[in-house]
Amino acid sequence: MVARISSIIILLIIAVTSIFFFVVNFTVWFLTVFIDRRLVVLQQLTCFWAAFYTYIIPTWRIRVSGRDNIRTGACYMVTCNHQSQLDILVLFRLYFHFKFVSKSDIFKIPLIGWNMYLNRYIGLKRGDKESIAKMMKDSSRTLDEGSSVLFFPEGTRSRDGRIKDFKLGAFTLAKEKQVPILPIVVTGTKDALPKHQMKTHGVH
């Protein structure tokens, strides 16, 4: 019961604050879209928006290591394991410029999905060959523009926390475009935010 109440409170906080953050981000997008072609400023604000929830929830103790290995201004193919919906919030704590590949359904979420459109993140419909081909084309164009692309090469969340077999798309594209691969590992998110409940474990 306590976990369910906590989840409801957190969802309400996300809903209310998303209105504020979207208005700010839309304003910044409107003012900078023609002078900031890669939307670097908008991405930094989006990083803060996503990371904000990891700051205010005291049971999530997040530690980031290795950030200094990310070269400023470099373009990467970013790959990360996938344990939980919390993964993407944790990844935004890195505060660097990237566009991430996400399920097309997420773009339909009011405010958050709209902001993803503003950032020109890349949509993908699982199992749809045309969507996969478009995703690869959009990712290729994004790399050409000098923006890193973030993939979850497992394709979906791991049920038991073990890393699943990788799909080859990200690695094929990295080889084709001759961009370095930036591997990231997230641990603890499966316990911190499992499906339908909230726990108090930290994230590393």
Looking at the domain assignment, is residue 198 inside a domain?
A: no
32 in helix, strand or coil?
Answer: helix
Looking at the domain assignment, is residue 100 inside a domain?
A: yes
Looking at the domain assignment, is residue 50 inside a domain?
A: yes
Cβ atoms of residues 15 and 109 within 8 Å:
no
pTM of the model: 0.87
**Residues of the domain holding 81:** 2-189
Looking at the domain assignment, is residue 194 inside a domain?
A: no
Looking at the domain assignment, is residue 203 inside a domain?
A: no
Place of tokens 């959009």: 138
Looking at the domain assignment, is residue 65 inside a domain?
A: yes
Give me the mean pLDDT over the 58-82 stretch. 88
The tally of domains found in the chain comes to 1
pLDDT at position 8: 76
Looking at the domain assignment, is residue 161 inside a domain?
A: yes
Q: Which of 202, 193, 200 is nearest to 82 (CA)?
A: 193
Q: Which of 18, 21, 39 is nearest to 30 (CA)?
A: 39
User: First and final CA of the chain: distance in angstroms?
Assistant: 27
Query: Which CA distances in Å does 201 have to 88, 182, 193, 194?
Result: 17, 26, 9, 11
Identify the helix (H) or strand (E) that includes residue 97. none
Please give the residue that has the higher pLDDT: either 127 or 55.
Answer: 55
Partnered with residue 95 across adjacent β-strands are none
In the chain, the amino acid numbered 191 is D
* Reported confidence tier of residue 197, pLDDT bands at 50, 70, 90: low
Q: What is the DSSP string of 136-204?
A: HHHHHHHHHTT-EEEE-TTSS--SSSSPPPPPSHHHHHHHHHT--EEEE---SHHHHS-TT------B-
Residue 78 has, within 13 A of its CA and on its CB side, a CA count of 25
DSSP single-letter state for residue 71: P
Both tokens of 117, joined, read 């459109």
Percentage of the chain beyond pLDDT 70 is 86
Nearest 5°: phi and psi at 113? -65, -40
Domain of 164: which CATH number? 3.40.1010.10
| pLDDT tens sequence across 77-130 | 999 988 888 899 999 999 999 999 999 999 999 999 999 999 999 999 988 889
Cβ atoms of residues 71 and 179 within 8 Å:
no
* Reported confidence tier of residue 194, pLDDT bands at 50, 70, 90: low
Looking at the domain assignment, is residue 81 inside a domain?
A: yes
DSSP count for the chain of H helices, then E strands? 7, 5
